[in-house]
Amino acid sequence: MTDHVHTKVRNGTGFITLDRPKALNSLSLDMIRTITGTLLAWRDDSDIAAVVVRSTTEKALCAGGDIRFFHAAGTATPQGGSAQIEDFFTEEYALNYLVYCFPKPYVALMDGVVMGGGMGIAQGGPHSSVRVVTDRTRLAMPEVNIGLFPDVGGSYFLSHAPGKLGVYLALTALTIGAADAMYCRLADHYVPAAELPQLADLVGSTAGAGLREAVGMFGRSLRDEAGPSELQAHRALIDDHFTQPSVPDIVASLRRDDHPFAQKTLAAMERRSPLMMCVTFEMIRRGATMGVADCLRMERNLVRRTFEHGEIIEGVRALAIDKDHAPRWNPPTLDGVTEDMVARFFEPAWPAWAHPLRHL
């Protein structure tokens, strides 16, 4: 158990509240275990009709996994052999699958920062989840900026975003707000932060079985207040560039386009890990034809290979440890990334019968 996750039940609704504000609710293994244990108990409890996931701080629902932990565990045991890392990702992805398949209404209040692992506990299944964003929402899958790839089911929910929006989000690691999140189908409803107390009153007074519909009606009445979507305005440009057959081709296409949005996109990609952008591109291509469980099993394999390579250790060092923001990527440019390098990440790390997520 952990002091960073609080649970309670009111009127047939179970509330999971993340309370690690100084770390923007970054997930530790203990937090993952507490959330998992709670959801498993509530899934099978007939007195619990719905679940709400929320935060004690307006700054974030969850900023992702604890990347400082990744660096410490990865440097202590080179080549990705840390038992702590193995347990963290196995149990995190099992939690992501549990959230996606949860059979009761599951409301995620995506106020503030929602990135990486935060997306994993917010992106529930299409028939149960209600994803609420606000004017404070800052959503991203920023993993290629730290030498990782968009995990926690990103190979599934990004590959199913409209057009090439998921590829764009994955390769740029850029942050979007509420209107763009809804346009990308990564959120369902918009509620201004000023209206959250009224939403809280509604949630607290609504019987669990009717919670999904009540929140939906409340959010629909406020949807237009989210404003215009920048990604919708540039959808044709995004689809044109990101339909290219490889990351180098996407970059070359962007370089030929002097539109400010294209140049902003190019500048972002030029700061990311060349290798992990290529791995991510292939991952999303494969994920488009796979179910959630197979996507998570693929990602679990990729995690092992990523720590073996060490790109994430360097990325976290540059961003969060030394904070020099000058990662020494390996290889340093897209020209140095070969097909064999990318293929290595997809080679099975375990036989199918021994895969840590084989039971999903």
Active site residue 166: no
- Short-list 197, 217, 187, CA closest to 110: 187
Active site residue 65: yes
Q: Report the alpha-carbon distance of residue 154 to residue 147 in Å, rounded.
A: 15
Average pLDDT over residues 248-259: 98
User: pLDDT of 259-314, one tens digit each?
Assistant: 999 999 999 999 999 999 999 999 999 999 999 999 999 999 999 999 999 899 99
Active site residue 315: no
- Active site residue: 64, 65, 116, 219, which one? 65
- Label residue 207 by pLDDT band (50, 70, 90): confident
Q: Report the alpha-carbon distance of residue 260 to residue 306 in Å, rounded.
A: 33
- Active site residue: 66, 92, 111, 151, which one? 151
- Active site residue: 66, 92, 111, 143, which one? 143
Q: Is the pLDDT of residue 136 over 70?
A: yes
Query: The pTM is what?
Result: 0.95
Cβ–Cβ under 8 Å, residues 26 and 67 = yes
Q: Is the pLDDT of residue 79 over 70?
A: no
Domain ranges of the chain: 5-354
Active site residue 80: no
Cβ–Cβ under 8 Å, residues 139 and 79 = no
CATH code for the structural domain at 5-354: 3.90.226.10
Q: Is the pLDDT of residue 42 over 60?
A: yes
Cβ–Cβ under 8 Å, residues 97 and 119 = no
- Active site residue: 117, 120, 124, 154, which one? 117
